[in-house]
Structure 1
Amino acid sequence: MSDDATPVHVGKRIARARKRRGLTQQGLAQRAKYSRSHLAQVEAGHKVATPAFVAAVAAALSVDPAEIYGQPYRGHTPHEDQVHGAISDLRRAMACVDVGPDLDVPPRTLDQLAAAIDAALQLRHQARHVQLSARLPALIEELTWHAYEVGGPRAWTLLNRAHNIAASLTRRLGYNDLSGQIMERAAVSARQSEDPHLPLMITHRRALLMMGVAAYGPAVRLLDRSISRVDRARLDATEVLGSLHLRAAVVSARGRRPSDAWEHYEQAVEVSRAAGGPSLDAHGTDFNPGNIAIHGAAIALELGDLDEAVRRDEQIPAPLLAGLAAERRAHHHIDMSRVHVELGNYDTALERLVAADRTAPQMTRYHPSARSVVTHLVDMRRTVHEALRRLHARMSA
């Protein structure tokens, strides 16, 4: 496997892309709005490349952030690479527009497909990427057949749920082009569903792709527009409104707008408090007090307030964190590993990575930030701890 496919060369990839475009470090730093010294430290491997930094550099270089990260992360063997096996099948499923696909066998009923979608959502919450990727193409093809050949709001609603799960998975694996294509199809299925909140949730998910290319201002404006359109009388209004505020808070923080970030965060807290703090997941957002709490730490991290991120992390009750979906817990551990590696607390950073890997090993293996932290810890250690060696070996496979 080439160096570009390993987790050890994010800085080198940036340097190579910069040189291909004939830019000096100073020239790229000015375009990306970072200091030359920061860029030099990342290129040399002395500083972790944060998602905000990668987004800024990728935009300045006119490349996909996945190119900077070296995604998709492929394996040496069929077993290690099987998570990518469904990508071509998903692309084929997306080829059917305005007509249903030809199916080898009759499609399952909508009741059966609804149960299959629920099971797929659980796999997503558990961050079981391999198992989820194996199921999605058939689900989307069968639901596409129902939507175009039979029609009806329920078929379109179920297809929208499948689209959203597929868009999330492909984005996590680094197929941003495919994820964007699926999101466009999701926008169509949302409109056809006759559910006024589904188009708003498209904005919630599309904002992640926009954040990845440093389009913070447009993303927040779209989210604000969706927030204003929430129908407070609908049963799912609490989850929709609260999750939109949380997404706007994170995007605002990544865009270095602290007052907007904390204002949106407090709005989400108030929405949850007014509803009695239930756990809501009709749209797959896992909107609950625990998820809100870890978002507070994430916002502080994105704003660069590392001490505040640590403080908020320490205040999260263990039962609250334990009650979250594995996907959310692992993501929080990875975020906190970023915090502690920046603070120079390398032992704690490794502990959080190990916790993430124990919680959701597939997610941790394919997460760019986890790989960046692992690489940095390997480079900074004189002796590599066995747990770190195992993580590095798995990520380099």
Structure 2
Amino acid sequence: MAMDQDPESVNRRIARLRKRASLTQQELADRTQLRGGYGYSRSHLAQVERGHKLATPAFVSSVAAALGIQVSDLYGQPYRDKLTDDGITTVVGALREALAYVDVPPELTAPRPLEELEAELGRVHTLLQQTRHTRLGALLPALVEETTVHALEAGSERAWRALHQAQVATIRLTRKLGFEDLAELAAERARFSATAAQDPHLAVMVTQRRTLVMMARAQWRPALAALTHAAQRVDQGRTDSSEILGAIYLRSAVLAARAGDSTAAEGYLAQAEEMDERAERLSHSRDTHATTFTRGNVAVHRAAVAVEVRDYDAALRRDAHVVGEVAATLIPERHAHHHIDMARALIEIGKPRIALQRLERAETIAPQLTMYHPQARLVTQHLVDAQRSLPEPLRRLASRMRVL
């Protein structure tokens, strides 16, 4: 279970939990070598613990797996002070209760008609893209409960599909807020509703989303194997096949990068580009399954993969393409995430001032995503620790994130 947020930085939390496990730095580093991927040396671990190096997502996942804990334990998630400020605390309990109904529907006086719920699910999709967590939290519990009533009482494929969409939205929201257990529960429910909806592509997309949980546990190779199997189940004759395969290849690229296989990562990116061209040529669906599979998203992933494999020169070249050519096509979620990735790269090459500017841009585009994003908070903390006196923009950002 994740700990309450405290002033402790991620690097100090890693050191404390390592010592609590009675491990030396060398012993913990050796354990990360067993996880696959890069593995990390004692020197690298020591530099992270002292705050001289960033704790990258791959590093945090490897260390969490080596310590037998969740990534959220190292990040200090859920960030309960922010959850309280944003009024989301009660939403989590409501979602947990809504997902508890499996065989018997909740006792609701009169659920809204299915058509009305479907329209609201469309609004939920837009809110997810805009990362408006507070508004999402106000809508989702009731949507899960009401679609559950329709699915269990009517049993139609249409009702099960609506329930599936509500459950997928729950996965996306709760994972971003740091509630890994609730995201996994929602994924289990979504797998069942996908089967009941009689749409094999829905089940494929559940697998694609569950690999995010596997990624957080440094299970890069098993996740890649799951995605390879999922890709083989895609019916390429359907109009949504390009979107699904494209999303699978983009996720595979990041997984391969986390595993340290830059060649495989570039290969997956090339396959994603082929799916993009195919979708464009055949006018195939681009967002039936809320993947936002677009040419801009492919470009963002190209930059992200370069950051993951520590090729910062390539990351900056690819960033120029994103900022100069495709930024206007990106949804807020992807656009802000890209700036956070680039802030990490800029820290690594010794450009803290520009890194701060990228974090500020991310916050302008998607405030709640940035406030809850572990890497955005980690980069901010790193900037704070590296400064003898804080410039006012950094002080304000750190105060909003509660990392001072």
TM-score normalised by length of structure 2: 0.94
1:148 is aligned to 2:148 = no
Offset, 1:159: 0.9
Residue by residue over 1:160-211, the C-alpha shift from the partner in whole angstroms, topping out at 9 and shown as x without a partner, is 1111111111111110011011101010011111112101101110111100
**Equivalent-residue separation in structure 1 for 2:253 and 2:186 (angstroms):** 25
- Aligned residue type for 1:5: Q
1:277-296 superposed matches below 5 A: 280-296=286-302
Q: Is the 8 A contact 2:4 2:79 kept in 1?
A: no
- Aligned residue type for 1:54: V
1:89 is aligned to 2:94 = yes
Residue by residue over 1:335-354, the C-alpha shift from the partner in whole angstroms, topping out at 9 and shown as x without a partner, is 00001011111111011100
Q: Is the 8 A contact 2:370 2:376 kept in 1?
A: yes
Change (3 A) 1:274 1:307: same
**Equivalent-residue separation in structure 2 for 1:367 and 1:77 (angstroms):** 13
Offset, 1:383: 2.8
Residue by residue over 1:231-260, the C-alpha shift from the partner in whole angstroms, topping out at 9 and shown as x without a partner, is 111111111111111111111111112222
Where 1:119 maps in the other structure, the secondary structure is helix
1:12 is aligned to 2:12 = yes
Change (3 A) 1:375 1:228: same
Change (3 A) 1:340 1:334: same
Match of 2:365 in 1: 359
Q: Is the 8 A contact 2:249 2:272 kept in 1?
A: yes
Q: Is the 8 A contact 1:334 1:369 kept in 2?
A: yes
Q: Is the 8 A contact 1:7 1:395 kept in 2?
A: no
Q: Is the 8 A contact 2:258 2:308 kept in 1?
A: yes
Q: Indicate the larger mover: 275-284 or 157-166.
A: 275-284
Q: Is the 8 A contact 2:167 2:186 kept in 1?
A: yes
Where 1:82 maps in the other structure, the secondary structure is coil
TM-score normalised by length of structure 1: 0.96
Q: Is the 8 A contact 1:238 1:272 kept in 2?
A: yes
**Equivalent-residue separation in structure 2 for 1:337 and 1:29 (angstroms):** 26
Q: Is the 8 A contact 2:384 2:390 kept in 1?
A: yes
- Aligned residue type for 1:304: R
1:299 is aligned to 2:299 = no
Match of 2:37 in 1: none
Give aligned pairs, total. Answer: 393
- Aligned residue type for 1:251: L
Identity in percent:
48
Match of 1:67 in 2: 73
Offset, 1:61: 0.4
Residue by residue over 1:280-304, the C-alpha shift from the partner in whole angstroms, topping out at 9 and shown as x without a partner, is 1111111110000000001111111
Q: Is the 8 A contact 2:220 2:258 kept in 1?
A: yes
Offset, 1:6: 3.9
Q: Is the 8 A contact 2:103 2:152 kept in 1?
A: yes
**Equivalent-residue separation in structure 2 for 1:234 and 1:295 (angstroms):** 25
Offset, 1:317: 5.3
1:184-263 superposed matches below 5 A: 184-263=188-267
- Aligned residue type for 2:29: A
Change (3 A) 1:41 1:20: same
Q: Is the 8 A contact 1:6 1:395 kept in 2?
A: no
**Equivalent-residue separation in structure 2 for 1:301 and 1:52 (angstroms):** 11
Offset, 1:7: 6.2
Q: Is the 8 A contact 2:5 2:81 kept in 1?
A: no
Q: Select which of 178, 181, 187 maps to 1:183.
A: 187
Where 1:86 maps in the other structure, the secondary structure is helix
Where 2:80 maps in the other structure, the secondary structure is coil
**Equivalent-residue separation in structure 1 for 2:57 and 2:323 (angstroms):** 27
**Equivalent-residue separation in structure 1 for 2:117 and 2:207 (angstroms):** 25
Q: Is the 8 A contact 1:89 1:137 kept in 2?
A: yes
| Unmatched tracts of structure 2, length 5 or more | 34-39
Q: Is the 8 A contact 1:297 1:308 kept in 2?
A: yes
Match of 2:32 in 1: 32
Match of 1:167 in 2: 171
Match of 1:368 in 2: 374
Q: Is the 8 A contact 1:74 1:81 kept in 2?
A: no
Where 1:204 maps in the other structure, the secondary structure is helix
Q: Is the 8 A contact 1:156 1:193 kept in 2?
A: yes
Q: Select which of 34, 44, 51 maps to 1:45.
A: 51
1:320 is aligned to 2:335 = no
**Equivalent-residue separation in structure 1 for 2:7 and 2:365 (angstroms):** 21
- Aligned residue type for 2:20: R
Offset, 1:4: 6.0
**Equivalent-residue separation in structure 1 for 2:337 and 2:175 (angstroms):** 15
Offset, 1:81: 4.5
Offset, 1:363: 0.5
**Equivalent-residue separation in structure 2 for 1:77 and 1:270 (angstroms):** 41
Change (3 A) 1:132 1:7: farther
- Aligned residue type for 2:254: V
Match of 1:116 in 2: 120
Where 2:88 maps in the other structure, the secondary structure is helix
Change (3 A) 1:112 1:147: same
Offset, 1:76: 7.1
Offset, 1:327: 0.5
**Equivalent-residue separation in structure 2 for 1:4 and 1:40 (angstroms):** 25
- Aligned residue type for 1:88: G
Q: Is the 8 A contact 1:7 1:70 kept in 2?
A: no
